[in-house]
Every structure is written in structure tokens, then in C-alpha cells.
Structure 1
Amino acid sequence: MSEKKDAPAGLPLSGQVNRAALAREEAELRALEQLPWPRRALGYLKRTGPGLLQSAMTLGAGSAVASVVAGASFGYDLLWVQPVAMLLGVCMLAALGHVVLTTGERPYRLVSRELHPALAFLWALATVVASVIWHFPQYGLAAGAARDLAELAGLTVYAVGEDGVRRLTGTGYAVSFGIGFVLLGVSLATVWSYGRRGAGIRIYEWFLRGVILVVVLSFATVVVWTGVDWVALLRGFFGFTLPRSAEGIQTVLGAIGAAVGINMTFLYGYSLLAKGWGPVHRPLSRWDLVMSMLVPFVVVTSLIILAMANTVYDPARAGVVRTDLRPVDAAQALVPVMGAHVGRVVFDLGFIAMTCGAISAHMVVCGFTVCEMFGLEYTERRYRMFTLVPVVGLLGVVTSTPLWLPVVASALAFTMLPIAYGTFVVLYNRRSCGGAGFAATPGRLLFNLVLVVALAMSVVGAGIQLKTRVLDRLPALLGRSTAMLRVAPGALLGTAGRSGLWACGAGAGLFPMPVEAVRWQRLI
């Protein structure tokens, strides 16, 4: 006789949780808490999961671009920035996870009841808008990498017209849409399994593990091939070197304050509840954030930075932000070191794998969020339907977004991020949500101080992003500089972001790009 399956109280997905198996897991976790640290850590490592979704979302086009430009512009010097930025984000998500696992309640309803319904709705709205807009550059980066591979195979994907503008050929369009539909098909198969049953969640998590492994192996191959300056590596991680220019310092502050995207903050609580986790899983959830989110992010971004520092970085131009680089350019830059084929193939495949994980994560978060916004209970049909909300981003393989879309999305997302952080701090310390006071214990006081630092940095980062992505672009939006912002369809620039900026994935850095190079403006 099969064991009875019930939906978790906090999240009635049609994909149900096996309560008997969950009870066994809880008993095993209680036993793990009595074991020495090494054995306890190994036990936790076998049970990770929700952090993988966060890792997939943050390891996208934005992280790729930020790391490429950081390594090419500053060498090893800024290796410390992304780990510090993500560590602050992980602490904030840990606070949210503590509240969700303690109460067993959906974050949207919790925020609505404890604070205000309008705040919860704006949080959800910013999540959906950001996921849709940030979807475009993921497909754009994947298509650019695929076109580079096609050129390597001898296909003609670009042609220069009579006006001197390089445009996609029929083959270029076929390659672009081909990789787009392949990624969409893979994402649909895995994302829809996530909402179907408990086994589906495990399938999706193993898919994400595979994607992350491909990314790590791809970029690790490049780094091993090009070599590592170990002294410079240690100095880069622990020297906390700051750029000498005011613009460079602003870049670092913006990156630290905006490492976690608004959609990541919404997704995390629901991914915990979807697995049926509760109070017993709180230590596991913290371990999961570190091992499944922080570590993969640090490893991948560091490997890309090292690869660029070893091949593209010019000490004579140290500190000068390279505005002439795209991710695909980075792959081609490896040709002198790794040969005409190996470097480009490995790097391009790594970029495609990164975007695949991010695309699927955006779809999952929309499946959760739209149901919450409209007060709909979860069914398999609704979940699948709402995961299709960001699919319009597939057009990113060949087109660019209207200027007003990223400006509006930036205004909403960057305004809501520090507000969401502040909400998590309040809920973490509210007794009705399982809190015990700001300074109830020395450990709790220390953790709260870290949360305050993360909140303060998010305010600074949001201010920088709002200025560069909204206020500085209003003249163009109002029609006074529109001509400067046009980009020929088919020109790949996997994103846009920071400061002028390349930005298209959570965790992306803040590196100014010339206005004419801006294709996608994503808003962390």
C-alpha cells in the first residue's frame, strides 16, 4: 500500500509531499545535530535543495558580464567583492528562511498580515516585472554564444549591409531561435516537473546541480589551462583592494548592495515550503544557502574573473573599466592561449549553461508569484500557466527591449529591494513570527548587526542603481536622447547593467558601458 501524501500546510502545491518520508528526514536531522561537525556537514550536504534555485537565478548573464569586465579591468584585485556581496545577501535570505520555517506560513501572506497588503503586492509585482525583463538578456547571451559556436563551425551568421551595419543572416536567425527554443524546451520539461510531485522537485534540483557542474567545469578548464598567480589570488580575496577612482568605488558599493535580486527574495521562502520543510530544517536551510548558493556563486564568478585576468587584463590599463568587452568576446580572447577551438567552445558552453539555469529559475518564481498576487490556490494547471509569463523573453535572441521597460522595472525593483530587506529584519525580530528580540543572545545580536549592514548597503546600492538606471535615463526616455540608445537587432550584448551598466542577473556587478552599447538594462 502506498503511503498517504498530503500537501504541506504552508504551500498547497499539486506536487505533494510524502509525509512519512518527511518525518523520517526530520528524525535524521535531529540525530545529525548530535554528531561532530564533519559528519553533520556531510549529512546536510546530502539534503540540500532550495539554495540551488537561488544559485541558478544568480548565475546568469549578469554574473557572467560582471565577472568578465571585472577580470579584464582590474585583474585579481576585485575577487573579494562578489563573495562579500553575496554573503550579505545570504544572511538576509537566512533571516527570511528562519521566519518562514518557524511559522510555516507563506511569505506573501505573512508580510500582508504583519505589515501591509500593499507592501506584499508591490513585492510580488516587482518580482514578476524583474523576472520578465531580466529574462531577455539570458536568451541574448545564450544566442550570442551559440552564434559564436556556429561561426567556429564555419557558418555565416552575420553579414554587413550596404549601410555598413552588421546584421544577422538567415543562418544567424536560425541559430539564435534554435538555441532559444532548445533552452525553452529544457526549461519547460524541468520546471513543470517541479510543480507536479515530490519526485519532480528532485528532478529539477538534480538538473540544476548538473547545470552548475557544467558551468564550473567549463570555466575551471580555462583557469587550469591558463594558470593561476596564487599570491595575487590570495591578495584579491583577502586584500580588499578598492579602486582608486570615485567611479570605481561607486561600482564596488553598488555591487555589494545589489547582489541579490528582488525576485530571489520572493522565491526563496516558497522553495522551502514546496519541500515541506519546517522548524527542524532551520540548520539545514542555513547550510543549504552556503553550500548551494554562496559557494557555487563564488566559485563560478571567481573562475571567470581569473580566466579574464590571465588572458585579457592589461596591467598598463589597470583600473580602467573595459567597456569594449562582451561575454562572447571573452571566449574569443582565449584563442591565443587555448587554440582556435577549445577556449571558445568551453567558454561558450559555460555561458549557455549559466543562462539555462537562470531561465528556468525565472519561470519557477513566476509560477509561485502570480498565484499569490491574485489569491489563487496552487494547482498544476495554474502553476504551469504562470511559469509561461516570462517566456516573451525568448525574443531576446534577436531583439532589444523598448527603453521604457527597463527604466520602469529598475525604478520598481531597486526601490523594493531595500524595503524587502527591511521587512525581513522586522519579521525576524517580531515575536509573533518566532523572533526573540534584537539582542536576546550575543549570537542573535551579531547576526542582527550583519542584517543592518546588509540593509544599509542595499539602500546605498539601490540609490546608485536608481540614479544610473532611472534618473540618468529619463532624458532619453522623454525623447531628448533616444537616438543614442538604439542598437541594431541581432547585436549581442548579453545585458546591461551597472552604472550604465551591464546588468542582467542577480549578482551582476556594476560596470559602466557606453550608452551605444546598452542593449538590455536589467535591474537587479
Structure 2
Amino acid sequence: PLAMILGVVMLSAIGYVAMSSGRRPFGAVNEHVSPVLGWAWLIAAMLANLVWCLPQFALGTGAIQQNLFPSLEKSDAATWGAGLALFVLAAIVVRAYDRDSRGVKLFELILKAMVGIVVISFFLVVGKMTLAGALDWGAILRGFVPNPAYLFKPAPAIAEAVAATGDHAAAWTEYILGTQKSKIIAGFGTAVGINMTFLLPYSMLRKGWGKEHRGLAIFDLSTGLIIPFMLATGCIVIAAGSQFHGKTDDILDASGAVIAGKEGGFNAVADTLVKKIHAADLKALAPEAAPAKIAEFRGRLSAEDRRVAAMLVDRKDRDLAKALAALAGEGTGRIVFGVGVLGMALSTIIILMLINGFCVCEALGRPGDRTAHFLGSLMPGLIGMCFPLIWTAQSRAALAVPTSVIGGSLLPIAYFTFLLLMNSKSLLGDAMPRGARRVRWNGLMIVATAAATFGSIWALKDQALGSLPLGKIGIGGLAALFVLGL
């Protein structure tokens, strides 16, 4: 919720600027702030579109293969076929948008219904669990308040199990903190993505909104984003968390053995510990001998280590669907969840493609060019369709985390740009906030920009490619952009 609130502040600011000036933001930034920041914003938005399309295709194909047609789960041909089908359907819809086709409205209604079904189902699941007394609403409500302590220690549901591993607790804690950091940054980056900051002002100008609509736009953003976001994602997280957070019974049986079909996810987590605590032994082996030795060490892990590993396994779409089992049974829950996830993935793919089309038109200086927009829109789809070549982990849903970390690390570029734009008298003239209004706007925007910058630095600082400190280079790049923007 905090990330969404800060994001709405910045979206309100860029909407205010666009409606007050009547100018397309990319050109306004280049002319009145800095071409460096303008192009950085555009390139970062395009990069976010390309990167974020990967998990959407993974989610969509996962919903088809794991929830709707489980018999196809092991088929690589089905994976590529489902990805191609998503791409073709999204491209058809994008082309229809360019032509203002009436069929688009019907398609939008179908997508909304698909997503609505699963959201309503999770509402009902939470309601049923509440009536059964299975939820601690005091703890849930406290969870809406950000707790900085979880930046530095495991969540309570996992901490006790980690402590029980004895000498391995430090290694597990390091792994968990890295995972928690990635998920926190992912949540911050996806609540309001940098690409959405590019789309919003253009959609407002396309509707013909001007100065008289500024109050309505801010109200619409506040009520139309924050409240539905908190309700929908809150119920999904509550239902899924009650099923999986700190739990092991869907990964390990009563004897502590890994349940059939769960080996891939369990081994991936357990092997991170094995490789850390036995690094010296493994380094001395020939590469072809390492897998067998890792498996041997994995088999020697204590029951406590195996329990922690089971808690940390990324669940698949099929597993997440079981959160709906309490409402309508496992089979129906699997289908409902699959339909909803497919609708979410497809609608997001379409939005990302549309945004990228706008970015390409602006980059080429050809706003409104339908051909340029359509060709630009195909770029994220083509990249996303190739996700099987990039992501080979067991859980396709987990691809959203690393890609969202990348997106979140780009967010300060947009926020810093909007902060400068809101204080540009040459652009806004008499519409520039003054007095107490200016203090309020700047105060909120500085907090949002500072939070986004902290998150970006935190996400990037330890990233490296071999001996190349890519994260530190990225931080240096952000600092250079800020200096050049001033």
C-alpha cells in the first residue's frame, strides 16, 4: 500500500502537469527540464515494457498448462504454442485499438470478467476463513503498516525454523534476506511501474482532459487505484499466505520426504545452502562430478534444514490455485484461478505493448502514427514470447520477482523528472503550485522520490556479473542522471 500511495502521488503530479500545460510530457521534459532525463525516462519505460512482458507470458502459459490443461504441462511445444497464441491475440487487440474497433470494448469486458471471477473468489475465500475463525485480523491489519525490521531479519513465521538449523542459521538468514529484499523491491516496482508513468498523461490528453479535470483526475487515481489495489491484492495475499507462508505440508510428507513432483523446487532451494556450506569441497571437484556430490550433500541435510528449504520453495500456479480449494474444491479452484491469471496476464501484455508503441512514436517524433505505434508495440510481445529461453526455473510465477526488481530500480528516473517538471515555471506558468500548495506537492514528491531512490540503491548495490559490479555501475548511472538533470 505504501508503494501504491507514493506512486499515486507521482501519477497525480504528472497528470497535473500534462493537464495544466496540454503538452505531451516527453517533449515537455526535453524542452523545460533536460533532454538527458527525457530520453532516460523514455528508454527506461521501454526497457520496463520489454522486461515485464517476460513474466506475463510465463504466467499466461503457466495458467494454460498448469491450471486449464494440466496434461500439457510437460510439453515444450505446448509452451511455445501457448506463448505464440498469447502474442497473436495481443497483437490483434493492439491493432484494433489503433483502429478504434468496437470489438475492443467487448474484449475488454471479457478480460475484466475473467479477472473479476478470480478476485471475487478470493474475497469469498477470505470471508469463509473469517467466519471459520481461521484468520488473525489484528495481525493482518498490522501487516499493512510498513515494518523496516524485515529488511534485516526473516519474517516471524520462518525465523523460528531458521534458528532451529543451528550452525546453518546464518547461511539461511542471508538467503532469506536476499529473497525478501527482492520481493519488497518487486512489490514497490510493480505497484506503479515506470511505464505506467509514461502511459497515464497520454491517455488523459487523448481523452481531452484539461485544467478543469485536474481535481477529478487526482480523485480518480486515489480511489480507483489505492482502494481496489488494497482490497484485491490483500485478499489474494491473505488466502495464499494462510495456505503456504511458513508451511511445509505441500512440499514434505509426514516422514519429511519430498512429495512426488515437488523435487525440482525443493532441490533448487536446498542446493543454495549446500553450495554455500560445502563451497570448498565442490570447488575441488571436476564440473561433471559436482551434480552428484551436491545431491549427496543434499541427502545429508538435517530435518530442520529440509523444513526451512520447503518453506522457501516458490509455488507454481497449480499450487497457488489450491488457495481457492476451500471455496469450491480443488478442481474448480484450479480452473477459476487459471482463468483469472490468464486474463490478468493477457491484459497486462496488451497494456505493455500499447505503452511501448507510444514510446516508439515519441522516440521517432511521430505521435499518432498508427504504423509506428503497431510496430513498436510488437517489441515486448516478441521478447516476452521467448521467456522459455531465459527462465528455466520450476515456478513460472517467480519470474515476476527478478524482472520487477529491474523495473523498480528504474523508477527514480521518472520520479526525479516529475519533481523537476512540477517546479518548472517556464512550462506551467501561472499553473505552477505556489505557497502552501507548493510545499505540500514538493513534500510528498520528495518523500516518494527518496523512497524510490533508496529502494533502487538497495536493489542494485550487490548485483554483479562475475567480477563486474553491475549494480554499482547502475547506481553511478542514476547519480549521473540526477546531476545532469539539475
- Specify the TM-score bucket, using the shorter chain as the normaliser: 0.5 to 0.7
* Aligned position for 2:229: 297
Q: Which whole-Å deviations, capped at 9, do the CAs of 1:417-461 have from their partners, x for residues lacking one?
A: 212211101111222232669973434422321111100000111
- For residue 99 of structure 1, what is the amino acid of its counterpart? V
2:182 paired with 1:254: no
Structure 2: gaps of 5 or more residues? 155-176, 249-306, 394-399, 470-486
Q: Structure 2 residue aligned with 1:355, among 336, 345, 349?
A: 345
The structure-2 alpha-carbon separation of the partners of 1:314 and 1:466, relative to structure 1 and needing over 3 Å to count, comes to closer
Instruction: Deviation per CA, 1:141-176: give whole Å up to 9, x if none.
Output: 111121112555xx2x35xxxxxxxxx33xx532x3
Q: Is the 8 A contact 2:64 2:338 kept in 1?
A: yes
Is the radius of gyration larger for structure 1 or structure 2? 2
SS at match of 1:358: helix
1:322 to 1:206, Cα distance in 2 relative to 1, 3 A: same
Count of aligned pairs between the two proteins: 375
SS state at 1:137 partner: helix
Q: For residues 145 and 413 of structure 2, what CA distance do their matches in structure 1 show?
A: 32
Match of 1:235 in 2: 141
Distance in 2, Cα, partners of 1:411 & 1:361: 19
Q: Give the Å deviation of 1:111.
A: 0.6
Paired amino acid for 2:185: G
CA distance in 2, matches of 1:286, 1:331: 36
Q: Is 1:220 paired with 2:123? A: yes
Provide the residue aligned with 1:98 in structure 2. 16
- Superposed counterparts of 1:143-292, under 5 Å: 143-150=61-68, 152=70, 155=71, 157=72, 168-169=74-75, 173-174=77-78, 176-197=79-100, 206=109, 209-210=112-113, 212-227=115-130, 229=135, 231-232=137-138, 235-236=141-142, 239-244=145-150, 246-247=152-153, 251=181, 254=185, 257-258=188-189, 259-292=191-224
State the partner residue of 1:418.
Answer: 412
Distance 1:173 1:274 in 2: 41
Structure 1 residue 366: deviation in Å? Answer: 0.9
For 1:448-489, what per-residue CA distance to the aligned partner results, in whole angstroms no more than 9, with x for missing partners?
A: 211111000001111122235xx2x411889xxxxxxxxxxx
- Amino acid corresponding to residue 352 of structure 2 in structure 1: H
Deviations 1:121-157 (A, max 9, x none): 22211211221121111111111121112555xx2x3
Check whether the contact 1:127–1:263 (CA below 8 A) recurs between aligned residues: yes
Task: Say which of 299, 305, 312 aligns to 1:322.
Answer: 312
User: 1:181: Cα distance to partner?
Assistant: 3.9
Among candidates 454, 459, 465, match of residue 460 of structure 1: 454
Conservation of the 8 A alpha-carbon contact between 2:9 and 2:445 = yes
Cross-structure match for 2:169: none
Say if 2:29 and 2:35, in contact at 8 Å, map to a contact too: yes
The residue that corresponds to 1:399 in the other structure is 389
- The equivalent of 1:27 in structure 2 is none
Q: 2:241 and 2:406 mapped to 1: Cα distance?
A: 35
How far apart are the structure 2 equivalents of 1:399 and 1:232? 44
Does 2:244 align with 1:312? yes
Correspondence 1:374 to 2:305: no
Instruction: Flag the 1:397–1:425 CA change in 2: closer, same or farther, 3 A.
Output: closer
Query: Are the aligned partners of 1:366 and 1:390 in contact in 2 as well (CA < 8 Å)?
Result: yes
TM-score of the superposition, structure 1-length normalised?
0.62
1:149 and 1:280 mapped to 2: Cα distance? Answer: 47
- 1:212·1:296 contact (CA, 8 Å) conserved in 2? no
What TM-score results when the alignment is normalised by the length of structure 2?
A: 0.67
CA separation of 1:100/1:337 partners in 2, compared to 1, >3 Å: closer, same or farther? Answer: closer
Instruction: For 1:114, give the aligned amino acid.
Output: H
Which stretch shows the higher mean deviation, 271-280 or 225-234?
225-234
Shift of 1:337: 7.1
Q: 1:195 to 1:342 in 2, by over 3 A?
A: same
Identity across matched positions, percent:
31
Give per-residue Cα distances to partners, 1:279-337, cap 9 Å, x unaligned.
Answer: 1221221122223333332222112111113322348999x973432343222465577
2:208 is matched by which residue type in structure 1? G
For the pair 1:137 / 2:61, whether they are aligned, the reply is no
Please give the alpha-carbon distance, in whole angstroms, between the structure 2 residues aligned to 1:280 and 1:400: 47
Specify which of 427, 438, 447 is matched with residue 433 of structure 1: 427
Note the alpha carbon deviations across 1:66-104, whole angstroms, 9 max, x for none: xxxxxxxxxxxxxxxxx1111100110110000001111
Match of 2:30 among 112, 135, 146: 112
